[in-house]
A and B are shown apart, each in its own frame.
Chain A
Amino acid sequence: MKKKLLSVLLSTAMVASLLVGCGDKAEEPAPAEPETEAPAEDEEPADDEVEAPAEDESADAEDESASEWTADLSADTGSVLNIYCWNEEFKSRVTDHYPGYTDNGDGTGAIGDVKVNWVIVPSDDMAYQNNLDETLLKQADAAADDKIDMFLIEADYALKYVNAEGVCISMADLGLTDYMADQYQYTKDVVTDANGNVNGTSWQGCPGLYIYRRSVAKEVFGTDDPTEVQTHFSDWDKFAASAQELADAGWKVVSGYDDAYRVFSQNVSTPWVVDGKIVIDDNIMNWVEQTKDFTDKGFNNKTSLWSDDWAKGASSSGDVFGYFGPAWFIDFTLAGYTMDDADGEAAVGNGTWGDWAAIEGPQGYFWGGTWVCAAQGSDNQGLVADIMYQLTCNPDVMKEIVTADNDFCNNQPLMEEMAASGVTNAFLGGENVLEKFCAGVTSISLENSSIYDQGMTEQFQGAMKDYFDGNVDLDTALENFYTNVETRYPELTH
């Protein structure tokens, strides 16, 4: 089963946002919101005149006066803005928050005179990437109205596009570098190519946490307070010990095989491929050992990520204690699983809704996120740069996004300010979860990503599933992994 994590989750966001209804917006304890103006907002380095270099029809020097951003559309010649994505998430962000966007009502939109054409191809079975690849390869010969202007990518395969020659326009060339200073470093690392150019930007930060059932924690550990519960899960040894305690009480510490994978895979010391040879990091093997151990001891339900059975563990008839996940997972995915009455109100009493809390868990990690890239050869670079600025660098717009859509936005000062302002999350039993996100996000490091990550993750999880199920032994599973991955990427060996 293809696990299209991010796409699935983001699409889930759409579906679940219908289920969650008004949604569990972050509840403001006090009406007064400290509006921090100047510092968070604009950049200080007014001195640097960021020169947009000579791209074919690119913008000239952006108007860089002091810290104000102004859109420079003078070099834009296109009348159609083509944006390629795999679901409606970015489209809804732009529609709701980009100033000057009007919805034409037929799926397209308009910004000024430019028609915005959303090309949405779902990401199942690699359809999105295949289509994107074909179109990017034909970019030079495409008609002006058909040229791709912007496209979205996920972390797992970001490098494929970011590292490819002549595909993305760097943020420096669009004049955005200085305005991205407040973004979390890892979000820039994900889309940095081999020469150090940042080739994409994101409005989201996706630090991950471990979300557990409060009532069960009280029963087994005597407390449901996150700080105290964290002491039971602060490293992998304690995690395993707590898992045993939970199992004795009839609860599973995780729902399936792949839940903790990301936590391990992001704390590795070598990338998947070195010089064309596949390298399996020790930490990945740690995950394999731990999961096999957990499976044999009955600490999980043997389910696969995103399956119906995997999700059922969170409901009132489920027996799963905790799930790993980032912000979007909590509000848009997990919340949906917990409700008994899918059409009912998202409130305490509807299934296990509200009976959860989040802790940092044994290690920091991130999960998912969508990055926006500008395509070389675009005839609307100025507009593209402006959209990117507004949604990923403008704190005012980003604050709107946090409030309205419950995203964790890619702006460190803003998120820390909102965390400090004491917003609580009703689904998490009134916890101030933003604090935890802010703490976790700075510990993420991404030095070891490769262009093969997506395939590696999928094939490794798939191959190991047979091992966990008991169908094959470890060596055979590894052999299968190598075979499958070398089929997918014929240039690799092991």
Chain B
Amino acid sequence: MEKTKKKSGNSALTARRVFSYIILAILTVLCLFSFYILIVNATRAHSQISKGFSALPGSYALRNFQNLMSDANLPVFRGLLNSLIVAGCSAALSVYFSALTAYAIHCYDFKGKNIAFTFILMIMTVPTQVTALGFINLMDKFHMMDTFWPLIIPSVAAPAVFFFMKQYMDSALPIEIVEAARIDGSNEFGTFNKIVLPIMKPAFAVQAIFTFVTSWNNYFTPALILKKNNLKTLPILIAQLRSADFLKFDMGKVYMMILLSILPVVIVYLCLSKYIIQGVALGSVKG
């Protein structure tokens, strides 16, 4: 009886399996087709692209790349560099100070601790655009407009990263370790840097990636702050591309530019996908 049950169970199972593979295949195509077209077109010359769609890549990649690099209106190389600087610094600051703040809440007992914790939770969902108006006025008064500071310093206060760190500490950092270090004569700050940080490495890695990517992709705030051409980050350049109709004369350049903006993140992702996906799952489990 069990055997027959399993048998009919099996065919139903197979049917479900086939169905799921079909859906997954469709989704894979949906996700990837635009990138496929991107890669193919970035390797073709404008005249080829205007003639029509082709499933095979061309041989114009280097030429398009060179054209793009020498375009004075689109300082792509600088843009890449700027994005890298802003994103890198944001990630570093965000991760370090969130861990520090989480450590404070985790290992210390003081008046107002719960209030602080609740406060940080509350501000997690406030969108940054809401404070944009006051923010740019303030930056203007501080004479920090058109610099990278307004994009980097605020990442010190990152509630979502803090929450992730706190959760990780709850499971990975027993207070005993800290106390042992104290007995050994380490001062508080030293304890944090020498003992706690190494334990937090996996959490750091995951959150560093996420913060980096978020900052790399950020468009709204940098667009408001950065005006000088040689300070612009990649998303701003892409927006410029969109409204600069004349650039449509060379679609090869356009596709190459899009490819360059996406490629770094994609490469990092493909190398580290396992950890990234794990990180998402980790951060989502609440309580």
Q: Do A and B contact each other directly (Cβ–Cβ < 8 Å)?
A: yes
A-side residues, CB < 8 A to B, are 1-4, 8, 11-12, 15-16, 19, 88, 120-122, 124-125, 127, 130-131, 306-308, 311-312, 336, 340-342
Q: Knowing A131-B227, A336-B249 are in contact, say whether A312-B240 is a contact too (CB < 8 A).
A: no
Whether the pair B243, A124 counts as a contact (CB closer than 8 A) is yes
Point out which of B46, B227, B239, B249 has the most chain A C-beta atoms below 10 A from its C-beta.
Answer: B249
Does B193 interact with chain A (Cβ within 8 Å)? no
Q: Knowing A121-B227, A342-B47 are in contact, say whether A12-B246 is a contact too (CB < 8 A).
A: yes
Does B245 interact with chain A (Cβ within 8 Å)? yes
Does B137 interact with chain A (Cβ within 8 Å)? no
Considering only residues 235-271 of chain B, those with a C-beta below 8 Å from chain A are 239-240, 243-246, 248-249, 251
Does B114 interact with chain A (Cβ within 8 Å)? no
Does B50 interact with chain A (Cβ within 8 Å)? yes
A312, closest chain B residue (CB): B50
Report chain B residues within 8 Å CB of A11: 73, 244, 246
Report chain A residues within 8 Å CB of B240: 122, 124-125
Whether the pair B246, A8 counts as a contact (CB closer than 8 A) is yes
One digit per residue, 1 when the CB lies within 8 angstroms of any chain A CB and 0 when it does not, for chain B 73-85 equals 1000000000000
Report chain A residues within 8 Å CB of B245: 1, 3-4, 8, 306-307
One digit per residue, 1 when the CB lies within 8 angstroms of any chain A CB and 0 when it does not, for chain B 214-251 equals 00000000000001010000000001100111101101
Q: What CA separation (Å) do A307 and B251 show in the bound complex?
A: 12
Instruction: Other than A15-B246, A306-B248, A336-B249, give 6 A-B pairs with Cβ distance below 8 A.
Output: A1-B245, A4-B243, A11-B246, A88-B72, A125-B243, A341-B47
Report chain A residues within 8 Å CB of B244: 8, 11, 122, 124
Cross-chain pairs A/B with CB under 8 angstroms, 16 sampled: A2-B243, A12-B246, A15-B246, A15-B249, A16-B249, A88-B72, A121-B227, A121-B229, A122-B244, A125-B239, A125-B240, A127-B227, A307-B245, A307-B248, A308-B251, A336-B249
The smallest beta-carbon distance between B106 and chain A, in angstroms, is 46
Q: What CA separation (Å) do A193 and B82 show in the bound complex?
A: 43
Count how many pairs of residues, one from A and one from B, have CB atoms less than 8 Å apart in the complex: 51
Q: What CA separation (Å) do A195 and B248 show in the bound complex?
A: 42
The smallest beta-carbon distance between B245 and chain A, in angstroms, is 4
One digit per residue, 1 when the CB lies within 8 angstroms of any chain A CB and 0 when it does not, for chain B 22-54 equals 000000000000000000000000110010000
Q: What CA separation (Å) do A105 and B239 show in the bound complex?
A: 29
Report chain B residues within 8 Å CB of A19: 249
A309, closest chain B residue (CB): B248
Q: What CA separation (Å) do A494 and B73 show in the bound complex?
A: 40
Report chain A residues within 8 Å CB of B47: 340-342
Report chain A residues within 8 Å CB of B46: 342
A310, closest chain B residue (CB): B245
Q: What CA separation (Å) do A11 and B244 show in the bound complex?
A: 10
Q: What CA separation (Å) do A383 and B244 show in the bound complex?
A: 33
Q: What CA separation (Å) do A124 and B240 show in the bound complex?
A: 7
The smallest beta-carbon distance between B113 and chain A, in angstroms, is 45
Report chain B residues within 8 Å CB of A125: 239-240, 243
Q: What CA separation (Å) do A4 and B72 show in the bound complex?
A: 19
Report chain B residues within 8 Å CB of A341: 47
Q: What CA separation (Å) do A120 and B245 show in the bound complex?
A: 18
The smallest beta-carbon distance between B170 and chain A, in angstroms, is 46
A337, closest chain B residue (CB): B249
B46, closest chain A residue (CB): A342
Q: What CA separation (Å) do A19 and B245 show in the bound complex?
A: 17
Q: What CA separation (Å) do A125 and B229 show in the bound complex?
A: 14
Q: What CA separation (Å) do A312 and B46 show in the bound complex?
A: 13
Q: What CA separation (Å) do A336 and B243 show in the bound complex?
A: 20
Whether the pair B248, A308 counts as a contact (CB closer than 8 A) is yes
Closest A-B pairs by Cβ, 6 of them: A306-B245, A124-B243, A12-B246, A308-B248, A11-B246, A8-B246
B72, closest chain A residue (CB): A88
Q: What CA separation (Å) do A463 and B131 show in the bound complex?
A: 31
Whether the pair A1, B243 counts as a contact (CB closer than 8 A) is yes
Report chain B residues within 8 Å CB of A8: 244-246
Q: What CA separation (Å) do A340 and B239 show in the bound complex?
A: 29
Q: What CA separation (Å) do A88 and B249 show in the bound complex?
A: 18
Q: What CA separation (Å) do A121 and B230 show in the bound complex?
A: 11
B47, closest chain A residue (CB): A342
The smallest beta-carbon distance between B220 and chain A, in angstroms, is 14
The smallest beta-carbon distance between A460 and chain B, in angstroms, is 19
A342, closest chain B residue (CB): B47
Q: What CA separation (Å) do A336 and B239 show in the bound complex?
A: 25
Report chain A residues within 8 Å CB of B73: 11, 122
Report chain B residues within 8 Å CB of A15: 246, 249
Report chain B residues within 8 Å CB of A4: 243, 245
Q: What CA separation (Å) do A340 and B244 show in the bound complex?
A: 23
Report chain A residues within 8 Å CB of B229: 120-121
Q: What CA separation (Å) do A311 and B243 show in the bound complex?
A: 16
The smallest beta-carbon distance between A407 and chain B, in angstroms, is 18
Report chain A residues within 8 Å CB of B248: 306-308, 311
The smallest beta-carbon distance between A491 and chain B, in angstroms, is 20
The smallest beta-carbon distance between B82 and chain A, in angstroms, is 17
B71, closest chain A residue (CB): A15
Q: What CA separation (Å) do A131 and B145 show in the bound complex?
A: 12
Report chain A residues within 8 Å CB of B249: 12, 15-16, 19, 311, 336, 342
The smallest beta-carbon distance between A29 and chain B, in angstroms, is 33
The smallest beta-carbon distance between A309 and chain B, in angstroms, is 10
Report chain A residues within 8 Å CB of B251: 308
Q: What CA separation (Å) do A120 and B251 show in the bound complex?
A: 24
The smallest beta-carbon distance between A447 and chain B, in angstroms, is 31
Report chain B residues within 8 Å CB of A124: 240, 243-244
B245, closest chain A residue (CB): A306
Q: What CA separation (Å) do A124 and B73 show in the bound complex?
A: 11
